Copies of this chain bind each other. A is one copy, B any other.
Amino acid sequence: MKRLRLGMVGGGQGAFIGGVHRFAARLDGRWDLVAGALSSDPARASASAENLGLDPARSYTDFATMAQAEAAREDGIDAVAIVTPNHVHAAPAIAFLDAGIHVICDKPLAGTEEDAQAIAAAVHRSGKHFILTHNYTGYPLIRQARGLIASGKLGAIRIVQVEYAQDWLTEPSDGKQAAWRADPQRSGRGGAIGDIGTHAFNLANFVTGLTPSHLAADLSAFVPGRPVDDNAHILLRYGGGARAMLWASQVAVGNENGLRLRVYGDKAGLEWSQEDPNRMAFTRFGQPRQIITRGGAGATEAAMAVTRIPAGHPEGYLEGFATLYREAADLISAEHAGGPKLLPGIVEGLDGVRFISACIASAEAGTAWVEF
């Protein structure tokens, strides 16, 4: 299989998600990281590049220069990964798209609706691929869950209970990761709803194939002085009559990364938790609960396609993330051009930003129902 060349914007020393993208890009051997604007701080940029073994000539200190230089090279990058804070997604994304380079961008799409629309416009005018790393869609059992629902195994969907509970922002915090996420200038107006609520929202949509028509939100900032929400209680309604609850919290003590999805139809129900991603409960009404395992008995083709090792050998977060990089490579190489496109992209990105806006609008109107 063809290997592709990857560049990266952000992700220098001290960053979190940049490292995750690199693990994900490496796992399947489909990408070589060859260029980067890893930090806006020149010293950190070059030290980070050296540590990663980049050619110094392809270590840039600004993304605009990088986009132009890479576009001009014979061996320029095939795609760029943008792993900067939310407010620095739009400018580099547009620069690379306009330079004819595919973009893989961390979520949420942007900190503002304006930025989001600007990215969308660039995607459309460039015709380039844009992948948004809602990585939880890469878990094999999530693919299986989506297929079970699409094929009618659950019947008509009635209820969705989705939650994403963490506790790392329980107290006021000065850490780098905490600081930008709680700064509306850098992360956008959403706190927990932007950082993790968008993941929960995306996951529920991905698995059910549904998009809500209305939502009502009660947003809280429990830590004194925090300018964005750290807990969100959200009700959702769907056109077909289904109803959902979405809970996102970064102050729920005892929760590490508790993304959990439960979906109930009129024939069956399923339950999955990100912290135990190799198992899924599936129950047909009136029958015993089944524990479906990744790669185990009853695994579907869609799940096996993204499964690397046998049942009982746990795959985790990085493997799911890597699946997005593998599928991005397939997409860009046009090797699987005909298959269903499961990769989240600009549509999901716009949905996420609209979700944040709708939650804030509802909360400001006293938890009123807001059209989505």
Chain A stretch 284-323: residues in CB contact (< 8 A) with chain B: 284-293, 296-298, 308-319
Residue positions of A touching B, CB distance < 8 A: 1, 3, 16, 19-20, 22-23, 26-29, 33, 51-53, 154, 158-159, 161, 163, 166-167, 170-171, 216, 218, 220, 222, 231, 233, 235, 237, 241, 243-245, 247, 249, 251-258, 262, 264-271, 274-278, 281-293, 296-298, 308-319, 366-367, 369
25 residue pairs from A and B, CB less than 8 Å apart: A158-B231, A159-B222, A167-B264, A167-B283, A167-B285, A218-B243, A222-B241, A245-B245, A245-B247, A249-B264, A251-B266, A252-B264, A253-B264, A253-B266, A253-B283, A254-B289, A255-B312, A256-B293, A257-B312, A275-B314, A277-B314, A286-B297, A288-B297, A288-B298, A289-B290
Bound CA–CA A369/B368 (angstroms): 9
- Asked if A281 and B257 make an inter-chain contact with CB atoms under 8 angstroms apart, the answer reads no
Residues of B within 8 A of A247 (CB): 161, 245
Number of copies: 4
Residues of B within 8 A of A275 (CB): 278, 312, 314
Q: How far is the CB of A108 from chain B (nearest CB, A)?
A: 18
In the complex where A253-B284, A312-B258, A312-B275 touch, is A266 in contact with B222 (Cβ < 8 A)?
A: yes
A20, A241, A243, A292: residue with the most chain B Cβ atoms closer than 10 Å: A243
- Asked if A265 and B253 make an inter-chain contact with CB atoms under 8 angstroms apart, the answer reads yes
- Asked if B367 and A257 make an inter-chain contact with CB atoms under 8 angstroms apart, the answer reads no
- Asked if A235 and B313 make an inter-chain contact with CB atoms under 8 angstroms apart, the answer reads no
- Asked if A1 and B311 make an inter-chain contact with CB atoms under 8 angstroms apart, the answer reads no
